[in-house]
Chains A and B, each alone.
Chain A
Amino acid sequence: MEFFRIKKDIPFMRHSLVFNAISFATFLLAVFFIATRGLHLSVEFTGGTLVEVIYTEAQPLEPIRTALAADGNTDILVQHFGSARDVLIRLPNRDDVDSNGIADRVMATLHKMDAPAPELRRVEFVGPQVGKELASDGAMALLLVIIGIVVYLALRFEWRLGVATIVANLHDVIIILGFFAFFQWEFSLAVLAATLAVLGYSVNESVVIFDRVRETFRKKRGYTTEQVVDHAITSTISRTVITHGSTQMMVLSMLIFGGETLFYFSLALTIGICFGIYSSVLVASPLAIWLGMKREQFVKVKKEKEEAVV
């Protein structure tokens, strides 16, 4: 079996302006949604209490809302979680109430209700101090990844490739966030982890291509920079598709079998993988060319030697 039977190098770089325009448009759209709709942050970031219970049979939400509101709770979020039997209750932290016992009080209220008593599945209470820290830690982690990757690529290849790669992949991160803002999916710590993992992963893609670019510069002397990049992308395209296909199979499996907890995690990965291919192949390479990537940057030493021989 061989999926890719390509006779000639595909002229990707001829259309580089189009690819960049598309990705710039998506980027702007994502920024727009993040700015206007904002992210639906989980309790981990906002602070508050989350109670998950399971009933023996399907449970309507309205009575729960009324019962909790009668207890003096405000801003309650009550929703089904996975099935009609699972109920998720989310309450914000309030200054005037001791947040510590909220979960116990909620359970007491639910037990008093006119319905069979539910079983407690999960409680999460996050104090106001913690949330802010998580957000700043997340930002720090992102910064560390960016600096680490740029420095590594600059050392291993060339600073232009480092910068091109990180710009291309950061725009993936923004697009993932854009999706979460548009659909108002819950942005939790796990999603943050997925986003950063995807960042590291799609950088791989650029590394594989740039590795080929370097090799082609050394081997094929007559090629222009565009031709070299086209050749590099064409000869790795089979690996690109198969690798991402395999990773996506794994992620798909999590999407199907992983349940609610892993759902948004694998969703973020899916978006990240799809846009990761696009941006690291078709955005990073033109960016590197525009930044002035040339043969001389890769084959300096050899040239000097030749001159000496002549």
Chain B
Amino acid sequence: MNRYPLWKNLMIGLVLLWGLIYTLPNFYGEVPAVQVSSAKATLRLDPAAASDRVANALKDAGIEHDGIFSDAGSVRARFASTDIQLRAKDVIERAFNPDAEDPSYVVALNLLPASPAWLTAIHALPMYLGLDLRGGVHFLLEVDMPGALTKRLDSTTGDLRTLMRDKNVRHAGISREGNTVVIRFREAAQREAGRRAIQDNTADLQLSDRDAGADDLRLVATLTPQAQQTMRDFAIKQNITTLHNRINELGVAEPVIQQQGADRIVVQLPGVQDVAKAKDILGRTATLEVRMVDDTPGAIESALAGNIPFGTELYSERGGGPLLVRKQVVLTGDRLTDAQPGFDGQTNEPAVHLTLDAAGARIFRDVTRESVGKRMAILLIEKGKGEVVTAPVIRTEIGGGRVQISGRMTTTEANDVALLLRAGSLAAPMEIIEERTVGPSLGADNITKGFNSTLWGFVAIAVFMCLYYALFGVVSSIALAANLLLLVALLSLLQATLTLPGIAAMALTLGMAIDANVLINERIREELRNGSSPQAAIAAGYERAGSTILDSNVTSLIAGIALLVFGSGPVRGFAVVHCLGILTSMFSAILVSRMLINFIYGRRRKIDSLSIGQVWKPDSN
């Protein structure tokens, strides 16, 4: 009577097997590795080609590796020992950066999980350890949105001034006042004309009248909520992209860069100890410059021969040859208000659309009128070194501030160029509002402490359960172990960040999970005490305790979810493990323990007694 159907046993067995497989990677530890990633914002690493280059370089040097892995932005090779790792780093460094003065790639020492390839192939990875366990730096950055808004309105003020002049509207002054732009007029007719001019030109501004006297008529312009929202999204995305590029340079294995809330960015750099350098890199700004290319015949040849003509500089084009660029700067990134990838309206070729502010548009019109047929270079300058992002030929005079770069470009390239152009302009300033550094020794200590707490707590509970409930206690302990197994497997699968509070939650969840088994065992004892037969007592015990277990876990889950929703940082780490643990505990405490009990007692027709410890009956005394 106490038997599970075959499918149920199979299902529980499969779930446990799954748990075992996904827990496995946590036992292998880590091996030394070398990581290659791009050092320049303008250089995109092609994982497949770079893997081959690493493999060839190692083969030529006769160094053996334990596998090469690649993801979107980096290639990593594993080695058997740190000695080999160090030798390999030199070899790879030489292969990728022939010019040590100007490295194109970052080659860094690293650690990788040592689990066998078949586990990695099914995405069975070790748990993702938080910074408090592995050491590293955590920053919370806040994007200065008011600052970005002011900047935007300042450029709008300039735009409006130009617009009024172009449309011949007479005004008595344009200025920014707080979060509005105020235009003064002497006559109502001019104000009407001004309003029409602005409405025809842009949909981003909301206009309203304000009169301070008979001859002081004002038009107040504010950014529409929509335009403000777009600006915010733009600013935060822009900053995240820029941070990604910068952080690659640090050669961090698994950096985390995420948006948090409306205007914040979390940056986590595991293993980084040099906070000052990290801050320096995060805070650095890139600038954008537009200059003309020197196309004088023969000039480039003489420059390559070491004879650079006066007033020019030699740069290399991204993914192309050398280019001679004039020193005189036509435009800087400040004049660029947007850069988006898109398509050419006529040829449907991928293109990059640039938008310049009013002053920029004027300069651009003048320059392009004089230089039709010549090339202009757009340079991204980072760390004092410049690189030509793109060098298009000017086909016609370009007025109105809308510029399109197209031709010989794929969609991906258009995306890259737009990103790089944005990186060199506009990014709103950021401020560090939270910083946490954990030294590597503290991280290791925390792991040991967390592990010991859980281990000894588990042992104490298991010993007590076995003593108090005999065979049923053994089954409860096994169910508790299954709970731990499933929880670790789930955390490994989800790659949820495990922190010290997370380990504490794991221990606490185990301590709470035993409640379900205590409820069941007590219920069975009670049924026996009331005179039920052993088989009936088992069935009734599990059945009656079931609904109580569900109720009590739901209330715990409510608390867990509240923490998950409102918690941040350490609290969230705690809440994730707590919630998952409640779910796994219901499975293991009810199903796993019942399956084991069924295997032990379910097949026998007649049982004299259950091994559940002493059942004391008031009558027998």
* Residues of A participating in the B interface, judged by any CB pair closer than 8 Å: 1-2, 5-7, 44, 52, 54, 100, 103-104, 119-127, 129-130, 134, 137-138, 140-142, 144-145, 148-149, 152-153, 156, 189-190, 192-193, 196-197, 199-201, 203-204, 207-208, 211, 235-236, 238-239, 242-243, 245-254, 256-259, 261-262, 265-266, 269
Contact = CB atoms under 8 A, between A and B. Distances in A.
Contact of A137 (B432, B434, B567, B570): B567
Nearest to A50: B436
A149 B558 CA distance: 7
Contacts of B120: none
Interface string B461-494: 1001101100000000000000000000000000
A144 B555 CA distance: 12
B500 A261 contact: yes
17 contacts: A5-B618, A54-B441, A125-B436, A130-B140, A137-B568, A138-B566, A141-B565, A144-B558, A144-B565, A190-B504, A190-B571, A193-B501, A204-B555, A207-B551, A207-B555, A208-B519, A246-B518
Contact of A201 (B431, B432, B556): B556
Nearest to A258: B453
Contacts of A100: 279, 431-432, 435
B588 to A, nearest CB: 15
Given A242-B468, A243-B518, A247-B508, 5 more contacts: A239-B519, A239-B522, A249-B511, A254-B453, A261-B449
Contacts of B618: 5-7
| Interface bin, chain B | 35 or more
B566 A140 contact: yes
B562 A103 contact: no
Nearest to B548: A211
Given A2-B616, A130-B140, A258-B453, A193 B570 contact: yes
- Most A Cβ at <10 Å: residue of B461, B504, B552, B559: B559
Contacts of A253: 452-454, 456-457, 460, 507
Contacts of A239: 515, 518-519, 522
A207 B434 contact: no
Given A121-B441, A125-B432, A211-B548, A137 B566 contact: yes
Contacts of B438: 121-122
Contacts of A152: 554-555, 558
Residue of A54, A203, A261 with most partner-chain B CB within 10 A: A261
Nearest to B501: A190
Contact of A250 (B441, B511, B526, B621): B511
Contacts of A204: 512, 515, 552-553, 555-556
Contacts of A138: 566
A145 B446 contact: no
A258 B449 contact: yes
B591 to A, nearest CB: 20
Nearest to B436: A124
B450 to A, nearest CB: 7
B236 to A, nearest CB: 16
Nearest to A265: B504
B22 to A, nearest CB: 24
Contacts of A252: 457, 460
Contact of A190 (B450, B454, B570, B578): B570
A250 B275 contact: no
B450 A149 contact: no
A122 B467 contact: no
Contacts of A251: 457, 507-508, 511
B111 to A, nearest CB: 21
A211 B551 contact: yes
Contacts of B558: 144-145, 148-149, 152, 200
Given A2-B613, A152-B555, A189 B569 contact: yes
Given A129-B142, A148-B558, A246-B511, A104 B442 contact: no
A269 B442 contact: no
A144 B449 contact: no
A189 B465 CA distance: 33
B563 interface: yes
Contacts of A127: 140, 142, 431-434
Contacts of B435: 100, 103, 123-125
Interface in B555-589: 555-563, 565-571, 574-575, 578
Nearest to A261: B500
A121 B439 contact: yes
B141 to A, nearest CB: 10
A193 B142 contact: no
Contacts of B615: 2
Contacts of B450: 258, 262
B90 interface: no
B547 interface: yes
Contact of B433 (A7, A129, A254): A129
Contacts of A119: 439, 441
A123 to B, nearest CB: 4
B419 interface: no
B343 to A, nearest CB: 42
Given A144-B565, A208-B552, A258-B453, A249 B574 contact: no
A263 B578 CA distance: 18
Q: Which 3 A-B pairs have the closest CB atoms?
A: A200-B559, A250-B511, A127-B433
Interface in B318-337: none
A138 B438 CA distance: 25
A138 B567 CA distance: 7
A259 B446 contact: yes
Nearest to A151: B558
A261 B434 CA distance: 19
Contacts of A249: 457, 460-461, 464, 511
B88 interface: no
A138 B519 CA distance: 32
Contacts of B613: 1-2
A242 B518 contact: yes
A69 to B, nearest CB: 23
Choose among B276, B557, B570 the residue with the greatest number of A CB atoms under 10 Å from its CB.
Answer: B570
B570 A250 contact: no
A262 B451 CA distance: 12
Interface in B228-273: 273
B434 A125 contact: yes
B437 interface: yes
